[in-house]
Amino acid sequence: MTDTSAVARNFDPIQFSVIRSSLVAVSREMGVTLRQTAYSEIFNEGSDFSCGLFDAKARLTAQGEFLPIHLGALQYAVRQAIEELAPLREFKPGDAIISNDPYRGGTHLPDLTMVSPIFYDGELVAFAANRAHHADVGGAVPGSFYSRAKDNFMEGLRIPPVWLYRAGERQRDVYEFILNNVRVPKNMKGDLAAQVSANRSAALRYQALCKRYGRATIASAEERSRADSEARMRAVIRSWPDGEYFGEDIMDNDGITDEPITIRVKVVVDGDALVIDYSDTDPQASGPINSVPYMTASATYLCLQAATDPEIAPNHGCYRPIKIVSREGTVVHPTFPAPCTAGNETSHRIVNALMAALSTMPNGPHLIAGDQGSSNNMLLTCYGKAGMQILYQYPEGAWGATPEKDGESALFSIVGNCRNMPAEALELKFPVRLKRYELRADTGGDGKYRGGLGTRRDYEILSDVAELSFVADRCKFGAKGFDGGGEGAPGAYLIDRGDGFQPASPNFASKGAEIPLRMGDIVSQQTAGGGGWGDPEERCDQRRSQDLEAGYVTRSKSQENLTEAELVTSHNT
């Protein structure tokens, strides 16, 4: 552990707290700038982006409360940009580096990372970085989620770390190359400008902090913050019993072969340190669900931050007590050019498997049972007078129950922290009508505490020609219950062409590509419920009555085994 005793002795605690909070505020302002200036709905409505500050060694200093799955992996992209492009002495004020390569510190191709150096008094002192999900980055299908992708080349434009701006001057060749390889260049143009602006706002605010407190004071505060986070993380881990703990979770399929894929994890607690070992996980998939090591690391970090103490300031110090082990050639550590755009699906299952392992620990961390387990990536591509329009929807699902309370309903997984697109914004900008948006009754796993409920969104197509692609999961295997709790109900993707709802993808359930649609068709996107916690027999009658009255369940405990005809009779009685 880093020795910062000298720094701690000489630092005023109030000033330290103010500076640490100010660094977080800089990261938050980056996100506000990005959201308010971006063109795409994914940014300004869904907030599918993340922002952070890093020191000159690419160590995370502070982050805004954005997407956890981006933030744990962002450090690798910053480090890769530094190593590949130039020694530190070659960076200049006004530089901006762009990259999205999943095998160079990225997550998946739609996530574009922007890295900018920050200078003070002529010295490179920090980096600002943000990562944001773009509407389209090329590839086989609009929206760049292709369930039948067999390699990374089929998934879209892969960008290594390159200069987008050099000393404040836009690099026209790189810029035009990117815009000429995406389906919605107008969106991309505006969104890239927003990412560059976000980093510029960070530079201005960080420089103002250095001017106010002095560069040496800011650097000391950053080091102390990392040391404090590490110490607090180690203290929690030390309270856990030493030993080995095992967990696993199952994914539906990979979109190419309808065979389940299992994520297996071993957690080793050794004093104040952890080893998280994924070596026994299934081999890498033929389809796009592979999670590159940076995505796997990020999923691991975010889960452990939640399980230890979510109030610990998230920075590089949190990661020091954690060692991640994986075997190359597995679904959590694929070999290039394995497809990986749906690695965000696997990240959910990594978290669920890790939670399952931690749940076997006596007097261990506070957890939730299995959750929705999917980002529910769905693309509706509509063709009409406005040209091609790509609607990307990733609605919320359910959390599992805890040992003290029912699971949360209609909430994004801890992997993401996005916002849903309001019906008004959706219908104003796209040729669709939101016919139905509601909680799904009977989807929470039973238990002493019930799992949360998934959601249902039905979209009516209003354009003459459209198509549907989706890469999701948790449509075959429900979320696990803990300590005797029941499984949550799986999700579903359905289409009604006027003759009732039918599976959109009969063979794979949670994955489909280029499914033709026409005006009047209704697409139903239904997300999974959360797992229950504890013996269902211990759920009190009052809670069951409240569930029935609120419509969270449609049958009382005594009616569960009745036929539909018997159920109608019992209600009439």
d(CA 487, CA 528): 10
Q: What is the reported pLDDT for 556?
A: 62
Mean pLDDT for the chain overall: 92
Q: Return the percentage of the chain with pLDDT > 90, whole number.
A: 86
pLDDT, one tens digit per residue, over 102-151 is 999 999 999 999 999 999 999 999 999 999 999 999 999 999 999 999 99
Domains of the chain listed by start with CATH number: 5-225 (3.30.450), 368-539 (no CATH)
Q: What is the reported pLDDT for 572?
A: 39
Is pLDDT of 570 > 90? no
Q: Residue range 512-534: average pLDDT?
A: 97
CA atoms lying within 13 Å on the CB side of residue 390: 26
The string of DSSP letters for 274-290 reads EEEE-TTSPBPPSSTT-
Q: Residue range 468-477: average pLDDT?
A: 97
CA atoms lying within 13 Å on the CB side of residue 374: 36
d(CA 259, CA 75): 34
d(CA 358, CA 353): 9
Q: Which two tokens stand for residue 287?
A: 């389809």
Q: What is the reported pLDDT for 5?
A: 43
pLDDT, one tens digit per residue, over 335-349 is 999 999 999 999 999
The string of DSSP letters for 464-530 reads SEEEEEEE---SSSPPPPBTTPPPPPP-EEEEESSS-EEESSTTTSSEEEEEEEETT-EEEEEPPPP
d(CA 329, CA 254): 15
Of 556, 570, 363, 353, whose CA–CA distance to 446 is shortest? 556
Contacts of 554 (CB under 8 A, 6+ apart): 441, 442, 548
Q: What is the reported pLDDT for 2?
A: 39
pTM of the model: 0.93
The answer to whether 49 and 132 are in contact (CB under 8 A) is yes
Q: What is the reported pLDDT for 159?
A: 97
d(CA 103, CA 555): 49
d(CA 329, CA 450): 38
Q: What is the reported pLDDT for 301?
A: 95
pLDDT, one tens digit per residue, over 410-427 is 998 888 878 888 899 899
Contacts of 5 (CB under 8 A, 6+ apart): none
pLDDT, one tens digit per residue, over 369-390 is 999 999 999 999 999 887 899 9
pLDDT, one tens digit per residue, over 97-109 is 999 999 999 999 9
Residue 448, by phi and psi: left (phi above 0), alpha (psi -120 to 50) or beta? alpha
Contacts of 427 (CB under 8 A, 6+ apart): 433, 434
Contacts of 137 (CB under 8 A, 6+ apart): 100, 109, 110, 112, 144, 156, 157, 181, 182
pLDDT, one tens digit per residue, over 224-270 is 999 999 999 999 999 999 999 999 999 999 999 999 999 999 999 99
* Strand 322-325 relative to strand 273-277, pairing: parallel
Is pLDDT of 569 > 70? no
- The runs of H, that is alpha helices, within 166-214 are 172-179, 185-213
Q: Residue range 563-570: average pLDDT?
A: 45
| Phi, psi of 68, rounded to the nearest 5 degrees | -60, -35
| Phi, psi of 511, rounded to the nearest 5 degrees | -145, 130
